[in-house]
Chain A
Amino acid sequence: MRCRRWAARPQPSREKVGSHEKRHTRCRFFFVWIAQVIVDILLQQVINGLVQGSVYALVALGYTMVYGILGLINFAHGEVVMIGAMIALTVLKALLAAAFAPVLAVLLSLLAAMAVCMALGYSIERIAYRPLRNAPRLAPLITAIGVSIVLQNLAMMIWGREYHSFPLPFNSVSHQFGGAIVNDVQIGIVVVALIIMLGLMWLVHRTRMGRAMRAVAENPSAAALMGVDINRVISVTFMLGSALAAIAGFMVSANYGIVHYYMGFMLGLKAFTAAVLGGIGNLRGAMLGGVLLGLIESLGAGYIGDLTGGFLGSNYQDVFAFFVLIAVLIFRPSGLLGEKLSERA
């Protein structure tokens, strides 16, 4: 009753608000302005999004590989990225102080970060998750959060609370590219990420170990019947994901020039979002989700100011990632490329 009365209420005349002509010109002005804004920063934001998305994709692969095999969300994965960045920072500083050639120093610090992270990933699984292999699912999940807190605090004790600047030993030259600017580090990130992802796909789909990983992910006891040492495959998976995390940590540090003990938290959450967006457990999904999330975030951050008339600034960019997470969980919980989740419940 009330609804109908409300709908039938007297309507104010639209003509009172403004004459038809006035509205028309205002409209046209608005669209021209929007178009200008879009073109101005579109390319730049796409480039930024691809760079950030490449990093998300590498980290998301770590989440998705572990989930695919254990059905576990390894919330400590973001901290592995941070530890990778910290190790790279420390080694790089030491090597540069010892007057190593810049390229050699970068390579060695990256390798050191990968080695330490692989050992860390192996240990995390061995110490924290393996004893809980047959426990209810909530137990390893809470343990993962615990591991994350432990690693964060450990890093804080070792490297302190301050922001460290990442000493890139060469000049990252900026290039003009169709009105946008892209520098060497950004190009390097996208190219290296692409190579690594292709390599990972080759490993998973064309090698004996990759086949075993897929077999264990699908049916662990049947894989054991084939002679696959499941524990070994799980360890390899953790180490592989951690190596990717180390590379991602190096990339983020080189790109932003800053390393901090808390950097893994937000990055980890966003990469997790990327993995969910693509369909957790699905490798291609993690890559797609990572790049998409990078683009969404970067475009969102680029336009949020204009779209809200300056009310919200680009510091609200984090909102987009979690908006995406919530939207995916509501409308497509299995993600873009994911299979039915019930299968592994």
Chain B
Amino acid sequence: MVENTLLEVENLKVSYGGIQALKGISLSIAAGELVTLIGSNGAGKTTALKALAGLLHPTSGHVHYQQKSLLQFPAHQRVVNGIALVPEGRGIFARLTVEENLLMGAYIRHDKTEIAADLARQYELFPRLAERRAQLAGTLSGGEQQMVAMARALMCRPTLLMLDEPSMGLAPLMVEKVFESIRNIAAQGVTILLVEQNAKLALEAAQRGYVLESGAITLSGAASELLGSDAVQRAYLGT
């Protein structure tokens, strides 16, 4: 249905100890797209991203990525294939400095000059981090930590960047900054799968969206259509 498909998920099911968190979801993302997955708390958004990143093992289903079956790879090899996840709660290394965090992002790469160039690029994209490069990441504010997490993910030069609730716990001004960065990253040609509770912001930034409800996808379409649809308006935008 989408041309130039980068990621194709078919009927993915995930269970935790007998409870089915994902009841068979299917979605597809084309190269260069910004797609959002919205839904309320406990709908299974984080589960979906974790399964795609390899932190959880699906009970059934297929994931095709660049014409390869993704599920055969363990988490640490999916990064090599260009899939990066900025996890919920950011998952930064608090006892490493900001710069060490970013270098961890480039762990799979060995081209030292290129890594240094990318480091400089991240500092350009997030000037705040340049000021704090030698500081322990744990001492940063929530918004700055989110920037570290995003810059770190970019350090592996991802083809597909997955973001899990980047706005969570941030002050409104920070949320705006984070979304501005997300648009910048998308403009550079990185494909993005954005999971958000803040449906309005996410749909405004994305081209297409999927709505996840108790482990199943109930709606999908162009972001602008979803934004205008009655169901989304009622359920997530509170109007």
Residues of A within 8 A of B (CB): 208, 211-212, 214-215, 218-219, 221-230
Is the pair A212, B104 in contact by a Cβ cutoff of 8 Å?
yes
Contact partner of B55 (CB less than 8 A), chosen from A208, A225, A226, is: A225
- Closest chain-A Cβ to B182's Cβ sits at a distance in Å of 18
On whether A226 and B107 interact (CB within 8 A), knowing A219-B91, A221-B55, the answer reads yes
On whether A228 and B76 interact (CB within 8 A), knowing A218-B95, A222-B93, the answer reads yes
Which stretch, B78-86, B189-197, B216-224, B225-233, touches the partner chain A?
B78-86
Contact partner of B96 (CB less than 8 A), chosen from A215, A224, A225, A229, is: A215
Interface residues of B in 120-165 (CB under 8 A from A): 152, 156
Q: Does B215 contact A (CB under 8 A)?
A: no
Question: B104 — which chain A residues lie within 8 A by C-beta?
Answer: 211-212, 215, 223, 226, 228
Is the pair A226, B156 in contact by a Cβ cutoff of 8 Å?
yes
Is the pair A225, B100 in contact by a Cβ cutoff of 8 Å?
no
Of all chain B residues, which has the CB nearest A224? B75
Q: Does B166 contact A (CB under 8 A)?
A: no
Question: A214 — which chain B residues lie within 8 A by C-beta?
Answer: 93, 95-96, 100
On whether A227 and B95 interact (CB within 8 A), knowing A221-B87, A222-B87, the answer reads no
CA A83 to CA B104, docked complex, whole Å: 36
Contact partner of A227 (CB less than 8 A), chosen from B79, B87, B94, B100, is: B79
CA A212 to CA B103, docked complex, whole Å: 10
Is the pair B96, A218 in contact by a Cβ cutoff of 8 Å?
yes
Question: A221 — which chain B residues lie within 8 A by C-beta?
Answer: 55, 75, 87, 91
B66-106 near A? 1/0 per residue, CB < 8 Å: 00000000111101100011010001111110001001110
Q: Does B44 contact A (CB under 8 A)?
A: no
Of all chain B residues, which has the CB nearest A218? B93
Is the pair B95, A228 in contact by a Cβ cutoff of 8 Å?
no
Of all chain B residues, which has the CB nearest A230? B76
Is the pair A227, B96 in contact by a Cβ cutoff of 8 Å?
no
CA A212 to CA B106, docked complex, whole Å: 11
Question: A227 — which chain B residues lie within 8 A by C-beta?
Answer: 76-77, 79-80, 107-108, 156
Question: B87 — which chain A residues lie within 8 A by C-beta?
Answer: 221-222, 225
- Closest chain-B Cβ to A39's Cβ sits at a distance in Å of 44
Q: Does B209 contact A (CB under 8 A)?
A: no
Q: Does B53 contact A (CB under 8 A)?
A: yes
CA A293 to CA B74, docked complex, whole Å: 43
Interface residues of B in 17-58 (CB under 8 A from A): 53-55
Which 7 A-B pairs have CB atoms at the shortest separation, nearest pair first? A222-B91, A227-B79, A227-B108, A224-B75, A226-B107, A226-B104, A229-B76
Question: B91 — which chain A residues lie within 8 A by C-beta?
Answer: 219, 221-222, 225
Instruction: Please indicate which of the listed interface residues A214, A215, A227 has the most CB atoms of chain B within 10 Å of its own CB.
Output: A227
8 additional contacts (CB under 8 A) given A221-B91, A226-B108:
A215-B96, A218-B96, A221-B55, A222-B92, A224-B74, A226-B76, A226-B152, A226-B156
CA A223 to CA B91, docked complex, whole Å: 9
Question: A219 — which chain B residues lie within 8 A by C-beta?
Answer: 91, 93
Instruction: Please indicate which of the listed interface residues A218, A222, A223 has the most CB atoms of chain B within 10 Å of its own CB.
Output: A222
- Closest chain-B Cβ to A342's Cβ sits at a distance in Å of 14
Question: B103 — which chain A residues lie within 8 A by C-beta?
Answer: 208, 211
